[in-house]
Amino acid sequence: MPNDANADNKDPKDPCDCKTCTVNAAITDAVTQTNVKVVGEAPAMATGSLYQAQSHSLSVLFENAVQQQSQAAVQLPTSTNVGTMQLYTLGPASAGAAATEIGSSGVISVLADVLALGKALV
């Protein structure tokens, strides 16, 4: 029962009774410096992460813009060709009727009304 004899003589600074609870000052200083280094670098790491996210978003934006321009370069000539083909399929009678319709109640009459309003205001 050697442990019973030492139970009464415990050191209050050594609660685990291991006789090695004291830590070298160099070790605590190194750990403290490491923690200070990590805390000091945190704003720089956050800023770097923010810049990386922004650059990724910007690159996706440019990628989408290039893709849209590519799609427009294909679709615009195609729609022009389709419109031209539809005009060629119209007969002369329907083309004359369309011209008459435009002349009577279309763009020309609207422009004439605008011109009359302009003269009335002056």
Q: Where are the domains of the chain?
A: 7-89, 91-122
Class of residue 101 by CB neighbours under 10 A (exposed 0-12, middle 13-18, buried 19+): exposed
Q: Whole-model pTM above 0.85?
A: no
Q: What is the mean pLDDT of residues 37-57?
A: 89
Q: What is the mean pLDDT of residues 116-122?
A: 82
Tell me, what amino acid is at 37?
K
Spatial CB neighbours of 14, under 8 Å, sequence gap ≥ 6: 21
Q: What pLDDT is stored for residue 63 in this prediction?
A: 96
- Token pair 């934006």: residue: 61
Which has more confidence, 19 or 115? Answer: 115
Q: How far is CA 118 from the centre of its chain?
A: 49
Residues 41/44/50/53 CA torsion (nearest 10 deg): -80
**Residues recorded for the chain:** 122
Q: Provide the percentage of residues in the chain whose pLDDT is more than 70.
A: 73
Q: What pLDDT is stored for residue 1 in this prediction?
A: 44
pLDDT at 14 over 70: no
- Dump pLDDT digits (tens) for 50-95: 999 999 999 999 999 999 999 999 998 888 888 888 777 777 777 6
